[in-house]
Chain A
């Protein structure tokens, strides 16, 4: 799938290749591998656009996001992933004073979040 963003969001294109990731596992792995400066640069550029991104995605029913808008929504989800690290943890890519994150296994971690199908089971 191409990570090209829809018209009107071209200025976010430089972040799409790295941060338009479909699953929570991919996004948290990327966040842990990023530097504090990378996290801040990404947050500062994309957080101000999140509401506009969501308005564009809200034109479609949940679970039916077309391929044209999936990278855009995935980009906004990376902001959700990264924001506590910029806003609360001083740019630290890990949660400070925390359990080893890679030992936390999630039932929904490898689902494409835009499909909105977290497990009702397990």
Chain B
């Protein structure tokens, strides 16, 4: 067993402690309700990228099941993106018809029209037209009684909402040093996005935790990334509620023939080392050659990972205490040739397969946690991001997450 003095991250972050973590928060209805009320209805949540609503009049509707609502993100004529609950002011119908968890559309006039009785709203949420308006005997204020607005802000192309009536802090203040850490990364340069979604029968934190450490790589990914001889988690930094670190790999085997060809044709795979000279100074600050990618968790439910030439994200949206919507997105450069497109396809398929390996554990972990056979879990020093996550969770919910 490692002594505390040798544990780099326990030494650097003594406030996180070293005790086992309680299993109960993964399966508790009480914890789920506290998370809903104190976290998901109060903190900033990433809900999209500006490219998804690139033009004036583009809109996206995203369901936020945990808060029992759907949010419209609308790109207005003034260039601003605003957020509204998708609820008509007339008789509470959904203004935009939804076709699933996410719905996309465009209105050339940048207006939204409710299909029920034809009430029309502009991109600022104000009512601009009510059919047979003269028949309404009560006074309707077209601004006051417009769509219910939601706080919305953008950082580095990521669109965030905050469902609180008055957020405790602005987005920049909420992100703190996390925003600086990733500020110089060229997200826009790699806009070609492969998206996967699924509904998992597990608590949302089990999903976040599974992707927030590299300890599992040599076991879980022995099939898809067999070349990993050893793995190190370095550069750990905590930024308020958020956390990050870098993954470094000692590679034991050359890539397989098809992977080697894909690496030659496109920079799109985690199976090869990054060209560190292309990274912002905050990422792999010591410029070590065996850097693979930076792994970060933006509280509460968003994981952002970057390396040179590509980046990818995971997001875990709670539906109930034991049901979670997962979205995985893999961003690479736009292909300039069919050779490159083939390289992207191969790299992306390998990553998909790795994600199939990752998600395989999640429902099993939840089912086992529900058994009640165990009350605690043990975290090693390089699982420090999980430890920080439970530390922050206790702060927001007031429910202890450590086992005394």
Give A contacts to B, CB under 8 Å: 24, 47, 50-51, 54-55, 57-58, 60, 62, 65, 73, 76-77, 79-81, 83-84, 87-89, 95-99, 101, 103-108, 113-114, 116, 118-122
Closest Cβ–Cβ distance, residue A87 to chain B (whole Å)? 4
User: Is B52 within 8 A of A104, CB to CB?
Assistant: no
Shortest CB-to-CB span from B367 to chain A, Å, is 14
> Complex: how many Å from CA A20 to CA B389?
46
When C-beta atoms are compared, the residue in chain A nearest to B195 turns out to be A107
Q: Do the beta carbons of A105 and B345 come within 8 Å of each other?
A: no
Which residues of the partner chain B approach A118 to less than 8 Å between Cβ atoms? 192-194
* In the complex, chain A residues whose CB is within 8 Å of the CB of B355: 104
- The distance in angstroms between the C-alpha atoms of A79 and B192, with both chains bound, is 22
Tell me which residues from 324 to 344 in chain B have a Cβ below 8 Å from any Cβ of chain A: 335-342
Contact B223 A96 (CB under 8 A): yes
Contacts of A105 in B (CB 8 A): 196-198
User: Is B335 a contact partner of A104 (Cβ separation < 8 A)?
Assistant: no
B257 and A77: CB pair below 8 A?
A: no
Interface flags for B126-151 (1: CB within 8 Å of A; 0: not) read 00000000000000000000000000
Q: What chain A residues lie within 8 Å of B349 (beta carbons)?
A: 24, 80-81, 84
> Do residues A95 and B356 form an inter-chain contact, with CB atoms below 8 A?
yes
Q: Which residues of chain B from 290 to 347 have any CB-CB distance to chain A below 8 Å in the complex?
A: 335-342, 345-346
Q: Is B4 an interface residue (CB 8 A)?
A: no
Q: How far is the CB of B190 from chain A (nearest CB, A)?
A: 12
8 new A-B contacts at CB < 8 Å, known A119-B195, A120-B191: A24-B345, A57-B338, A83-B259, A88-B226, A88-B256, A97-B360, A108-B194, A120-B51
Bound complex: CA of A39 vs CA of B359, how far in Å?
25
CB contact under 8 A between A104 and B223, given known A47-B258, A80-B262, A116-B341 = no
- Which of B's residues lie within 8 Å of A, judged by CB? 51-52, 54, 60, 102, 104, 191-199, 220, 223-224, 226, 256-259, 261-262, 265, 335-342, 345-346, 349-350, 352-353, 355-360, 362
Q: B261 touching A51 by the CB < 8 A rule?
A: yes
Q: B256–A122 contact, CB under 8 A?
A: no
Q: Which residues does chain A contribute within 8 Å of B356, judged by CB atoms?
A: 95, 98-99, 101, 104
Say yes or no: A62 contacts B345, CB within 8 Å: no
Report the Cα distance A40→B192, complex, angstroms: 31
> With A and B bound together, what is the CA distance between A80 and B346 in angstroms?
5
- Assembled-state Cα–Cα distance A54/B258 (Å): 13
Q: From residue A2, how far is it (CB to closest CB) to chain B in Å?
A: 20
Q: A109's closest neighbor in chain B, by CB? A: B196
A103 to B324, CA, bound (A): 13
12 pairs from A and B in contact (CB 8 Å cutoff):
A62-B335, A80-B349, A84-B224, A87-B256, A87-B258, A95-B357, A98-B359, A99-B360, A105-B196, A106-B352, A107-B194, A108-B195
Docked-complex contact A121 and B52, CB < 8 angstroms = yes
> When chains A and B are docked, how far (Å) is the Cα of A104 from the Cα of B348?
14
User: How far apart are the CA atoms of A77 and B104 in the complex, in Å?
Assistant: 29
Smallest CB separation, B221 vs chain A (Å) = 10
The reply to whether A84 and B342 form a contact with Cβ atoms under 8 Å apart is no
For B339, the chain A residues whose CB sits under 8 A away are 54-55, 57-58
Whether A54 lies near B265 (C-beta < 8 A) is yes
A99 to chain B, nearest CB (A): 4
Please name all residues of chain A whose beta carbon is closer than 8 Å to the beta carbon of B259 when the two chains form the complex.
83, 87
